[in-house]
Structure 1
Amino acid sequence: MTTVALTAAERITSFVRGRFPQADLTPDQDIFALGYINSLFAMELVMFIEKTFGVAVPNGELKIDNFRTVAAMSALVGRLDASA
């Protein structure tokens, strides 16, 4: 059996859709503007990223623009993974 690894974007999208099944997200849609994000879910996103991808999000990266879109979160994961 062959297992295909999910990309960071696919995993993040799946997480958001798990909480908001009605969300029809594209990688560049602003999830804050769509109204899916509140302060509690924003913290859940940070914890999800840290746990799922084995990275630590430093305080300097806790900027709204890093979490605004699936593409931005994927790029953040890539930067943090590369610096590990």
Structure 2
Amino acid sequence: MNTKSEETVQSTPETVQQRIHEFLEERIKTDVAVDKDLFASGLVNSMFAMELVVFLEQAYGIAIIGEDLKLDNFRTVERMTSLVLRLLDTPVADHA
């Protein structure tokens, strides 16, 4: 079954950005600017990138695969927000 949660349907740039920001604050115990490079600043490492992938996939019912898995998509809250919104707007192919 391929249904979207109520939250996924109602996702706006502001709500997606806020949820990602809250997740980061909770996990790294630091407030970060939405445009701060999380990796260059040393706040997170490449292993944490996988946690970000899992969080975004579960929170928004999306699949982050192929070219979307590049580290640049996870450097800032802004980039993750753009990725989520783009993937939410992309229809998922039916593999029936």
Q: TM-score, normalised by structure 2?
A: 0.76
Count, aligned residues = 79
Q: Deviations over 1:10-67 (max 9, x none)?
A: 111111111111x221111111122122222110000000000110001210111100
* Amino acid in the other structure paired with 1:15: F
Out of 30, 34, 39, the position equivalent to 1:32 is 39
Q: Over alpha carbons, which structure has the higher Rg?
A: 2
Look up the SS of the partner of 1:7 in the other structure.
helix
Name the stretch that deviates more: 68-77 or 6-15.
Answer: 6-15
Stretches of structure 2 lacking an aligned partner (at least 5 in a row): 1-10, 92-96
- Show the 5 A alignment for 1:4-83: 7-21=15-29, 23-83=30-90
Q: Displaced runs of 4+ in structure 1, greater than 2 A?
A: none
Sequence identity, in percent? Answer: 46
